Every structure is written in C-alpha cells, then in structure tokens.
Amino acid sequence: MKLTVLGCYAATPRTFTNPTSQVLELNNELFLIDCGEGTQVELRRNKIKFSKLKHIFISHLHGDHFYGLVGLISTFTLLNREKELHVHGPKGIKEIVTLQLKFSKSWTGYPLYFHELSSREPEMILHNKKVTVETIPLKHRIYANGFLIREKPGARKLLINEVEKYDINVAYYRGIKKGKDAVLDDGTVIPNHKLTADPEPPESYAFCSDTAYNPKMLDQIKGVTGLYHESTFLEEHAYLAAPTGHSTAREAAAIARDASVSKLVLGHYSTRYDSILPFKQEAGEIFPNVDLADDGKIIEFS
C-alpha cells in the first residue's frame, strides 16, 4: 500500500503548496481521493498514469477538495480516454460537473458515472475482487465523508514441500490455496493447515478530512494500517477548530491512539503556519508513529 500526496494544505493553493488531493495504490489499483486545484498537474509531476484512475472519491463540496475535478475530467477526453470513470461524492456533484460540461460544450467521449452520497451512516460504495470502500461520516460544516479502503484477504500460501510430500496433483492447488483440505487417492484427508500458511494480513487505509474531533468513527477505523487525519490547527489555535469543523494535531493523534491504528499521517494544514514540523511534535506526544503529509511525498505503510 502506497500513498502519493498531491496536495495537503487547507483553503487556497499557493505557489509552493496545493489543496487536498492524493492517490492511494492498494493491491495494484489506484484511487484518487479529493481533487483540489492543480491535481492534474501534480499527477503528471508524480508520473501517475491517468489511464489507471477509474474511481475518484470526493469527501465534500468545499472548493479546496474538488475544484480540480472538471478540469481533470475534461483532460481525460482530450487524451481520448475510452475507459469508464466513476465519481463518488456528495449529492450535487453531478449537477456541478455536468453544468460546466454543458455550457463549455465539453461532453466526455467516455462513460462517466456519478455515485452521489447522502447517507449519514457508513455505507459500502465499492466492492470488487480486490478491495472494498466504505464511507466514514465526518463532522464538518457541510455534509462530508471520509473513506475506508480495505484490501480483501489474499489466498493462503502453498507450502510446496508439504504438497509435494503427499504427491498432490497440481490441479488441486487452487482449491487448497482457498482453504480446502486435500483428499488423497486412498481417502486420507490432509488438513489445510498442514499444506498452507496464512496470507499476509490485508492492509487498510482511512481518509478523514475535513472533520472536527469525532470519536464516533473509532469503531469503524479500529486497527487500520494507515490513517490520514486532518490537522488544520496547532494547539495555540485550538479555539478555532470546533467552530470551523476542523481538528488539531493533538486531536488527530488521540483518534489514532484510541483506534489503535498502525500509522497516522497528518495533513490539511492551515497556511497560517510557516512550518509543519510542530504538527508532528504535538501529535507525537500522544501517538508515536506519526508521519507528515507534504506535497509530492510518497508514504509507504509496510
């Protein structure tokens, strides 16, 4: 599992920072999460293939999280995209995008599907052979969701020496890897645990931005491999957090600690700060395994 941060700063783009957008690579699939201004430029800068993006997830309809979307959709047309594209986001995202395409006479040359969200409870919005994606209801000034992306468990690992010891035909390997016992020609049953080892634990990623401190999400994100949690403010400006629907670095760390996650990634920093290092320092007092998102940074979770 790998995260490429395209932008991770709050509110407005600057010459050296970008608003929220990131690409998660999990089980050989790419997912674009949020699409602030400049996203397609950063995709190119980070050498991410446009053609590999099939699903885009938009957390909420504040501009710093989706103003780059219609430009990216239009560029896909100019690149002669043929593959379908799925946009998952709050109710209204379809109207916003199609209105711009209509009046610019820029209809896509590929299938474009919108999956609009309105539930205040977690819901499964994507389910395929490799991953599942659920919404994480957030606490913000407008309707907002985070996204919980989970890798499905892999097949069991074949212990080839054990399999060959029992002279098991290769035709049965696939079933054994799926957990089946082996039955020899004489009727002897070889339990699966003697022939296989457990697969690697599936990885998972929770994206939680924008949100005020929200312990209601703890049960849903319990034990995830990676948690991206917004940390707009430092403690000196904590009085601004709740009224604006944002969190401090310490609050993000408290969520990570209480959810027993493996790694916390901070982001969505207010541009009022000259350095992001104090965010790690403050969060680290509560939760030790903290990483700082930054534009262009690649974060590994293994």
Residues with active-site annotation: 64
Return the structure tokens found at 197: 């080892």
Single-letter amino acid code for the residue at 116: E
Smallest CA-to-CA distance from 103 within 77, 70, 81, 80 is with 70
Q: Record the tokens describing residue 105, joined without a space.
A: 């006479």
| Cis, bond preceding 210 (omega within 30 deg of 0) | yes
CB 290, CB 253: distance < 8 Å: yes
DSSP states of 57-92 as a string? E---SSGGGTTTHHHHHHHHHHTT--S-EEEEEETT
Q: Residue 267 carries which side chain, given as an amino acid letter?
A: G
> Which H or E run contains 291?
strand 290-292
201, two tokens: 């634990």
For the purposes of burial, counting CB atoms within 10 Å of the CB of 192, is it exposed (0-12), middle (13-18) or buried (19 or more)? middle
- What's the full length of the chain, in residues? 302
Is residue 159 within 8 Å of residue 196, measured between CB atoms? Answer: yes
Specify the DSSP class assigned to residue 152: P
Contacts of 294 (CB under 8 A, 6+ apart): 5, 8, 276
DSSP label at residue 110: S
Rounded Cα gap, residues 61 and 126, in angstroms: 20
Q: CA-to-CA distance for 266 and 290, rounded, in angstroms?
A: 7
